[in-house]
Amino acid sequence: MNAFTDMEIFARVVSAGSMSAAGREMGLSPAVVSKRLRRLEERLGTRLLQRTTRQIALTEAGQGFYERVIAILASIEEAESFVTRKSALARGTLRVTAPTSFGRLHIAPHLPAFLAENPSLSINLDLEDDFVDIVGDGYDLAIRIAELADSSLVARRLAPIHRVLCASPDYIARHGEPDTIAELCEKHVSLAAQNQDPWRLQGPHGTEIVRTNGPIRTNSSEVVREALISGAGIALRSTWDIGPELRDGKLRIILPAYRASKDVGLYAVYASRRFLPAKVRVFIDFLAGLYGPSPYWDEGLSEWLSMADAAE
């Protein structure tokens, strides 16, 4: 953080009325806000704020400094708006990171259409399933499938994510179909990648936990997918991943009254900032228009989705 950021933090504390409120607005902890204010005061050689357990108040020096700081910030915002208007065309290289399977199935096929609409743009798309520090690694944008925790990043929800329990007709013919979660745990093979948490399923009896017990150990979700289709067991999969197999009958939904958490969604995540580059904005808008609240991969699955909704 530089001197300008320190001034911005100071102005935000004054306008918000407290360090904790300013920290929430800026995505910073109260401890960081306090440290930056102390450093600013040390650099200026004067106290700007009187702090008590209940409130903060400007000193005389702080009042004069605040009036000048907000004038500076307003000038900078005006300058940014001027540049934005002059360079609204999306241009340059957009660096994006996304989950491997989702990026391969639902981002890569649509890139030609996006680039045709934005001929001054190029895209660097990196696919990986490990967590990525988008700021530290220099990405403009991350596509994430998650139940997002509080973060200093900004997230826009692009689509719902529905995850279903399913198995192949061959597996069901050999082992039958479980009628309850307890039967699933006791008598059936459940498949999952090594890094996947236990399944948290919501259904008629509230939340139920399934700890997977499959004989196949892998770090690849795509290996689990192929084993599922081949009849190796039951798996919890996203409809974006297995929609065609469900529609073609290669997989069947089991225990349709259950689904994974509805709080999980598809998000576009980017660094918290007042100015969003045009290249990032147009790509987010493109994906939001492509997917939406009823994404194309859920076509033909409305009957199951209705059953799961009614059971909750």
Res. 237: pLDDT tops 90: yes
Confidence of residue 152 (pLDDT cuts 50, 70, 90): low
Cα–Cα dist 73/135, whole Å: 24
Strand 141-146 vs strand 163-167: parallel, antiparallel, or unpaired?
unpaired
Q: Answer with the residue of higher pLDDT: 111 or 261.
A: 111
Confidence at residue 202, expressed as pLDDT on a 0 to 100 scale: 86
Cα–Cα dist 208/257, whole Å: 12
Complete domains list, the chain, with CATH: 3-86 (1.10.10.10), 92-161+264-298 (3.40.190.10), 163-261 (3.40.190.290)
**Residue that has been written with the tokens 């493109």 in this structure:** 286
Percent of the chain with pLDDT over 70: 88
Amino acid identity, position 165: L
**Per the confidence metrics, is the pTM higher than 0.75?**
no
pLDDT digits (tens, 9 = 90+) for 62-77: 888 988 888 787 777 6
Residues 191-230, buried b or exposed e (16+ Cβ, 10 A)? bbbeeeeebebbbeeeebebebebebebeebeebbebbbe
Cα–Cα dist 209/200, whole Å: 5
Cα–Cα dist 234/171, whole Å: 8
Strand ranges (E), 79-198: 92-98, 121-127, 141-146, 153-160, 163-167, 190-191
Strand 265-271 vs strand 206-210: parallel, antiparallel, or unpaired?
unpaired
Confidence of residue 312 (pLDDT cuts 50, 70, 90): very low
pLDDT digits (tens, 9 = 90+) for 166-222: 999 999 999 999 999 999 888 888 888 776 778 888 888 888 888 888 888 888 888
| Residue 231 region by backbone torsions, left for phi larger than 0, else alpha for psi between -120 and 50, else beta | left
